[in-house]
Structure 1
């Protein structure tokens, strides 16, 4: 599928990996609906991109909000071809530690956003994609985002690893579910990417993290993840895959 003239929904599109992908896709001639909770940043981004972008304030765990966002996307652009799920959150609590057991509400919140929120968006996006005319055997592309924590979760990441592991585990199943509709499903599995989460991190901490990367010895760049998303959209023979983009890092226990 070509990005030029396509219509994409990108969750978490106002910052980090989502922002980089929004900029990449619009620069390639695509049209993008930015789903995010940050209304100020999302509106400013959409206004800066002009007619090719739409911002919708969407909580990915809210079925009605997601459906309304998709409806606005169709009303504005006329179709939906690509859905990329970047929206996600994290926390750090040991299963049991000096402050007691992992707070169940905190565990549930991470799973709700990262796993259930991802599924909520993609299932409603797939419903719309199924209405598209077949183009070289496909009607749509769904890309989810996991993390290397899905395979090598560190101490304190039980909720995060469970949520991202769930995204990895459901990728092939959903690809099988949607194959007859001509919709491909893949998952990007990032390692240490230099997103705004690192902006307040001390340089020596970043250097220490970069030293763990096999090659190159640096954190990844959001633009590199956006480039991978581009490849997954445009290469019609990649389906049901979870692709690491991590410089070869293998995370240690802590």
Structure 2
């Protein structure tokens, strides 16, 4: 349960960014197969040992369909890696425009990030528990939150709230699933260079890079994927929230 070769992983948000990098890294490390799940279309050719499913992580039927395909195609599931998420930048109230934060925007961020993560985990736990234990372990769940849960900055109330909820779920989930030998860990990334960053001006990217003490640059999706693999391979990491951020602390 801690050896990547032969393992089957379910990766959400796998069409781009952190999820895509994680899927490719795990495949390069010898996993048996990946169920790649995303609401976006997959714009690249996937290897034969990848099954792609389009769907919304907050919809029960979509996730159940993906888990059914995983069981049918690979016969098992060993690791769940939640990388899907969205964000919105808006202050609680824009006093210049006399406009309050849109409730539907907040709801969408919370439903995709927090509710979606919870939904994937609650539905996949049963399939993870079907594995025969090895060293007392049957599988692992890895969530993705954000450093904004700790350093909530201006305009990030929705993303901070959703990330904080994911962090707060980590330990009780780990304790709930401990009876079946299933670990739960959350990664809280800093600012990473993903396709979303392509829309930002160069000076904004430079500002983010300089904000990160060491190394002074944006994180690479491959570095996130490397941590995912390391967590899987270390059986004593459980119930933890790990910051992956180059020592950044977001300003007010």
Equivalent residues in 2 for 1:97-112 (5 A)? 97=94, 98-112=97-111
SS of structure 2 residue aligned to 1:136: coil
Q: CA RMSD in A?
A: 1.0
1:9 counterpart residue number: 10
Q: For residue 79 of structure 2, what is the aligned residue in structure 1?
A: 82
- Greater displacement, 71-80 / 202-211: 202-211
> Do the aligned partners of 1:9 and 1:82 also contact (CA within 8 Å) in 2?
yes
1:19 is matched with which residue? 20
Check the 8 A contact 1:13/1:19 in 2, yes or no.
Answer: yes
Partner of 1:182: 181
- From the superposition, tell whether residues 115 and 45 of structure 1 become closer, same or farther in structure 2 (CA, over 3 Å): farther
Shift in Å, 1:76: 0.3
Give the TM-score normalised by the residue count of structure 2: 0.96
Structure 1 residue runs of 5 or longer lacking an equivalent are none
State the match for 1:248 in structure 2: 247
Aligned partners of 1:34 and 1:56 also within 8 Å: yes
Spell out, residue by residue over 1:219-244, the C-alpha distance to the aligned partner (whole angstroms, 9 max, x if none).
11000000000011110000000000
Distance of 1:99 and 1:70 partners within structure 2:
45
Which residues of 2 match residues 224-235 of structure 1 at below 5 A?
224-235=223-234
Aligned residues: 248
- For the 8 Å contact 1:14–1:45, the answer to whether it is kept is no
* Alpha-carbon distance in structure 1 between the residues aligned to 2:103 and 2:199: 28
- Aligned pairs for 1:122-141 within 5 A: 122-141=121-140
Match of 1:147 in 2: 146
Moved more, 203-212 or 179-188: 203-212
1:198, 1:211 → 2: CA distance? 15
Shift of 1:118: 0.4
Q: Is the 8 A contact 2:15 2:42 kept in 1?
A: no
C-alpha separation in 2, matches of 1:13 and 1:224:
16
1:60 maps to which of 57, 61, 64: 57
Distance 2:185 2:213 in 1: 24
Output the CA distance in 2 between the equivalents of 1:76 and 1:207: 44
Unmatched segments (≥5 aa) in structure 2? none
Residue 91 (structure 1) shift: 0.5
